Structure formats: C-alpha cells, structure tokens
C-alpha cells in the first residue's frame, strides 16, 4: 500500500493527475479542493478529518492519493508521519506548470484562487523543491502539465529518402 501526495501551485494540474492516476493505482482520492469550494469551512478541522481518513484507509491496506498543494514543510511532515505509522510507501508527486498556464487555468475556475495567493504558492514551491530532497520520501516523481507545442508535420518529400 502507498500514500501518494501531490505538491504544486494552484491550477498546476494536481487534481487532473490524481483523478487519472487513482483508478489505475487502485487508490482512494482525497481532495483538499473542498476548502476552496466551500466558503467558511474550518480549514484546520477539514485537514485533520482528511488526515484521519487517510490513516484509516491506509490501516485497511488501501492506497491513498492526497490532492493538495503541500508547499509547507509541516504539511508534508504530517503526511510522512501518517505513512510511517501505517507502514505505507510515501511518494511525493511534484506537479510543475508554467505560471502563465496556471493563471489562465485558475481564472477559468468557478472560484479562482486570488492571484496574490497563487504567487505566494510560487514562492513557497521554489523553497519546497529544495526541502523535499532532505525529507524521507520513498520516491519523488516530477510531472509537467504545461501544454507543449509540437512541431508542425510536413509531407515527406522524395528528397527526404
């Protein structure tokens, strides 16, 4: 059993990756997006409930994907402690995206994250990328969700042979 935790700025593509990965990994997806979607929700209580649910699922031998920004070391430390207590394999999936793409995706959301908050996460992410190397993750994966322009195809000419 494994605990997969995402790390990245808002609108990086963490949820998209997690939704695609969960079925193929046989993992339960736990999302922090509800914090953004439900104004007035008690953030600490919600996160504590999410952590308890992850611990419960791991104790039952289920793999879990946590869809969260996790740019703060205390957040990652709590997930690592949950993984250690359950004997699960902790994997950090770092989701990278160009800032312009993230801002465009964010603006298209029903409840966008305020731009100054996104920029704060960018600064935190820059620090976190160095910090995670000293943390006891069993594995750290990096994925990039920025669309890539592919070269335009051209017909094969006789001279190409």
Given a cut of 60, whether residue 48 has pLDDT beyond it is yes
Given a cut of 90, whether residue 141 has pLDDT beyond it is yes
Given a cut of 60, whether residue 157 has pLDDT beyond it is no
- What tens digit of pLDDT does each residue of 13-35 get? 999 999 999 999 999 999 987 65
pLDDT of residue 34: 63
In this structure, is the dihedral angle defined by the CA atoms of residues 149, 150, 155 and 159, taken in order, positive or negative? positive
| 111 phi and psi angles, rounded to 5 deg | -125, 85
Given a cut of 50, whether residue 160 has pLDDT beyond it is no
* DSSP structure string for 39-52: TT--HHHHHHHHHH
- What tens digit of pLDDT does each residue of 51-98 get? 999 999 999 999 999 999 999 999 999 999 999 999 999 999 999 999
All domains of the chain, ordered by start, with CATH?
2-146 (3.40.50.300)
Q: What is the pTM of this model?
A: 0.86
| 5 phi and psi angles, rounded to 5 deg | -125, 130
């Amino acid at each position: 059993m494994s605990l997969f935790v995402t790390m990245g700025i808002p609108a990086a593509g963490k949820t998209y990756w997690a939704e695609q990965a969960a079925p193929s990994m046989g993992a339960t997806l736990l999302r922090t997006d509800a914090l953004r979607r439900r104004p007035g929700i008690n953030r600490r209580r919600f996160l504590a409930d999410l952590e308890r649910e992850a611990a419960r699922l791991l104790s039952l031998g289920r793999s879990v994907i946590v869809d969260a920004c996790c740019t703060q070391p205390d957040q990652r430390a709590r997930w690592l402690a949950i993984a250690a207590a359950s004997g699960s394999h902790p994997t950090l999936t770092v989701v990278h995206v160009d800032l312009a793409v993230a801002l465009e995706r964010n603006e298209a959301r029903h409840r966008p994250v305020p731009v100054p908050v996104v920029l704060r996460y960018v600064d935190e992410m820059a620090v976190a990328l160095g910090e995670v190397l000293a943390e006891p993750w069993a594995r750290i994966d990096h994925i990039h969700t920025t669309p890539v322009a592919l070269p335009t195809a051209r017909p094969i000419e006789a001279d190409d042979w």
